[in-house]
Amino acid sequence: SDHRLEYPISPAHMDWTKLYPYYIDPEDSSKLTKQVTIADIGCGFGGLMVDLAPEFKENLILGMEIRVQVTNYVEDRIIALRQQNLNSEEANYQNINVIRGNAMKFLPNFFEKSQLEKIFFCFPDPHFKQRKHKARIVTNTLLSEYAYVLKEGGVIYTITDVLDLHEWMVKHLDEHPLFERLDEEFEKTDPCVRIMTHSTEEGKKVERNKGSKYIKCYRRLPNSAVL
């Protein structure tokens, strides 16, 4: 349960300096010089962020994970990576971090309207049973929340090995007026699609078991699309 989780009452109340100290604003130490623009929802053990870090050096990347032990593991992993790569040109891992939180409840407490460029849903929990479907991370209501925090032109990335969940996510995203499905050409050429296909721990497990991976990406349309 998440009644003991702490959330900022608004994005302005969120202290990001502990998560990304490398980016503290020299003129105002309570702020960063950048905002988080990439979110990995249900990041698990953090493999996606670790591989995104060198590719998106200019972006701050945040994983959100509900399980305590898993969040602690990712925190420790990032501390170690930062220490091991202090002077690395390729990646210093200062641009990634994780918070424990329920992404289905409090995203707008963390992110301002249009703040994010990319949101990842990698191998979300399938919640197979019919009566559990409302617990899925993609629903009409939640998509409107994701649309709120995503900027125009921003992208939602989805990948799963569960066909039923894939069809569910595609159906809801297709139906939502603020999202437009991206084509195969995008999937073939976008670096994030390649990374999310192979980087996450769950994706590696699926690979070992020779399972399928279903991918779809959606672009956030301008609000005028619904007028």
Binding site for ligand SAM (CB under 6 A): 42-44, 64-67, 70, 102-104, 122-125, 200-203
The residue from 15, 28, 40, 125 that is catalytic is 125
Residue 42, marked binder = yes
Cβ nearer to ligand SAM, comparing 43 with 61: 43
Distance in Å, CB of 147 to ligand SAM, minimum: 18
Position 185: which residue type?
E
Rounded CA gap, 145 and 134, in Å?
15
Residue 103, marked binder = yes
Distance in Å, CB of 191 to ligand SAM, minimum: 17
Other C-beta atoms closer than 10 Å to the C-beta of 165 total 23
For residue 223, give every residue at least 6 positions away whose Cβ sits within 8 Å of its Cβ, in sequence order, or none.
152, 178
Cβ nearer to ligand SAM, comparing 51 with 65: 65
Position 144: which residue type?
S
For residue 82, give every residue at least 6 positions away whose Cβ sits within 8 Å of its Cβ, in sequence order, or none.
92, 93, 94
The answer to whether residues 143 and 184 touch, using CB atoms and an 8 Å cutoff, is no
Cβ nearer to ligand SAM, comparing 152 with 201: 201
| Active-site residue, 25 included | no
Position 57: which residue type?
K
Residue 202, marked binder = yes
Residue 200, marked binder = yes
Catalytic residues: 125
Task: List binding-site positions for S-adenosyl-L-methionine.
Answer: 42, 65-66, 102-103, 122, 200-202
